[in-house]
Amino acid sequence: MALSRDGIVEAAIEILDRDGDGALTFRALAARLATGSGALYWHVANKNELLAAGADHVIACVVADVAPATTPQESIRAIALGLFDALEAHPWVGAYFAYAPWTALMRIFESIGSQVQALGVPERLQFDCASALVNYILGVAGQNAANARLFPGEIDRSAFLTAVADTWTRHDVGDYPFVHQVAAQLRDHDDREQFLAGIDLILAGIAQAG
């Protein structure tokens, strides 16, 4: 089969998902595609371009796959949750938006921004509202990517969060009253539900805008 840019990007994503960004080299990619490294450079200039193309491919698939919703709020939730799931499945994407500011990031801004417009937000506030949503989504993505690097492989999430909560509550309650109050919630919280709760809080604020 003829070598193509799309095929190279898809193979790169497989390597990134399986072994992380440290494993992605042109040599490893050439071996995966049974070709020479030189042939890859006809289609992709360097690793940064390859990472950018991979991130754009992942985000494009999310945006294309989001089912139509009955309200802009539901559409924003669906887009946000699709991005949350995709960036959790591909944690390397969250760390590489800087390499593709007008491709993957542009797709996210367009998909979220068009729904902000549909909400009837005044034009002067649309950029700020869309930015708040996008920055929140990418902030969570960045944190997930950092966690994936800090804790590679499978870990027992419940045991890990219990250990963190126990560490919190060993500090003096007089110094950290709020931390003591929410420690039990830290142990038991669902990441996706908490993520959507944040989206709803931003949407509630947008509803009051203007």
Domain annotation for the chain: domains and CATH numbers: 68-207 (1.10.357.10)
Q: What is the pLDDT of residues 43-66, one digit of tens each?
A: 999 988 898 889 889 999 998 888
Work out the average pLDDT over 107-116: 94
Residue 98: the pLDDT is 52
- Across the chain, mean pLDDT equals 88
Question: Cα(131)–Cα(54) distance, rounded to whole angstroms?
Answer: 23
Angle made by CA atoms 14, 133, 160, in degrees to the nearest 5: 60
Residue at token pair 């690793």? 47
Amino acid 37: pLDDT = 86
86 has pLDDT over 80: yes
**17-38 per-position pLDDT tens digit:** 998 888 999 999 999 999 988 8
- 40 pLDDT more than 70: yes
CA 205 to CA 24: how far, in whole Å?
42
Name the percent of the chain lying above pLDDT 90.
Answer: 54
> Is the model's pLDDT at 154 over the cut of 70?
no
Token representation of residue 196: 């959507």
* pLDDT for 190: 86
Q: What is the DSSP string of 148-187?
A: HHHS-S---HHHHHHHHHHHHHTS-TTT-HHHHHHHHHHH
- Phi, psi at 36, each rounded to 5°: -95, 155
With cut-offs at 50, 70 and 90, classify the pLDDT of residue 2.
confident
Provide the whole-model pTM: 0.84
Write 149-152 long-range contacts (CB < 8 A, 24+): 149/20, 149/91, 149/95, 152/20
The whole-angstrom separation of Cα 37 and Cα 23 is 15
Query: Per-residue pLDDT averaged across 110-132, rounded?
Result: 96
